[in-house]
Structure 1
Amino acid sequence: FFHWVNNLPCSRCGGQTEPKSDYLLPTDDELRWNASQVENHYCKQCQFCNRFPRYSNPEKLLETRCGRCGEWANCFTLCCRAVGFEARYIWDYTDHVWTEVYSSSQKRWLHCDPCENVCDKPLLYETGWGKKLSYIIAFSKDEVVDVTWRYSCKHEEVLSRRTVLSEATLRETINALNR
C-alpha cells in the first residue's frame, strides 16, 4: 500500500537521485498539506532538483502513499482509528516513530510498527537495532504519556541518557499537556 522512499526516481528523466543535505522551502501548496520539510533529491543525469515534501497530513499521505517511518506511522495510526481501534502515535527522540494499538482482550497497548511489519515486539529497537533510547512519548486523542520504559530492558542506561530536561520537568510538561 505504501512505498518506502530513500531516493526518488527523477521526475524529469527517470534517473537515480541522491538526497542532498540542504532542504528546499515548501511551496504554498506543500504548506497547506503540512509539509514539515522538503528534501532536495538531485539527479546527476539531468541536473534536476526533485522535491520530496515530508507531509504530515494523512489525507495527502493517502494520496501520495510514499514516505518513511513518519508517513507510514501517521497513516497506519489513522487507519487503525478509522476501523475502530484505539491507537496512538509513538515518537522516539532517537529518530523513529510507530503506532500502539490498544487490545481490549489483553487490556494493554501493543507495539505495532508498520515499517517493520511487527506487532508486540517492544524491545526491537534496543535489542534488535541497538538503539540507545532516551525518550519515547505516546500521543493519543486523549493524552500524552511517557512510554519509554516499556521499550527498554536497560532502564539505568536509558535514565543516564535522559539529559535534555529533568525528570520533574518532563512530568510537569506532560501533565500540562494533559490538562
Structure 2
Amino acid sequence: MKLGITGKLVLKAALLAMLLALASSCGGEGGSNQKTVLKLSTTGLPSEPISSISISIAMPQGVQPRLNPDLSVPDSVVQVSGVAMPGSTSNVWFGLPRNGSNFGGGLNFTITTSNPAGFGVGEFATVSLDAGSHTSSDFTISPLFSAAGIDHAPVSGISPTLAVVYE
C-alpha cells in the first residue's frame, strides 16, 4: 500500500504522539521528581567529643549531586544536621567517575561544628541527590573516614553509617 503525502504526515504525527506518551510515562530521572537523601551518622563510643568529620562517599553508577556550571558542588547538596548543628561544611567536591568505571564518582566533604563543646554520636550530615530509587547498600563510605576532637586530635571508637530516605 502506497501512502500519499497526507497519509505519511498522519502516520508521522501518530508515531510522534506515541513516542511522547511513552516517554512521559517512564519513571526514573526523566519522569520523577523524587530525590535520594542520604542521612550520615556515627555510632560507637567516641574517645572524646567530635569537632569535625571528613568523609568520602562512592556513588552508584549514574548518580551524582547537582553541580554548578563550574562543576563545583552547590551549598544545598551537603547540610550539617543532627548532633553536629550548628556547623558548617568545607572542602565539598565531587570526583567524576573515570571512563569504564563501575561507580558513579565520589562526594567528599568535611563538616565542622561551631559548638565549642563538640558533639557525640548520631546524625551529622544530610546529602541531597537528584536521583531515583537507591538503597543504602548502593553507596559506599570510604575507609578513609576520619573525625577530629575539640583538641584536633583523631577521635577513635566511632564508625560512620548511611541511611537513604526519599523526598
Q: Which has the larger radius of gyration?
A: 2
Same fold (TM > 0.5): no
Q: Report TM bin, short chain.
A: under 0.3
Ranked by relative contact order (alpha carbons within 8 Å, sequence separation 6 or more), the top structure is: 2
TM-score by length of 1: 0.26
* More helix, by proportion: 1
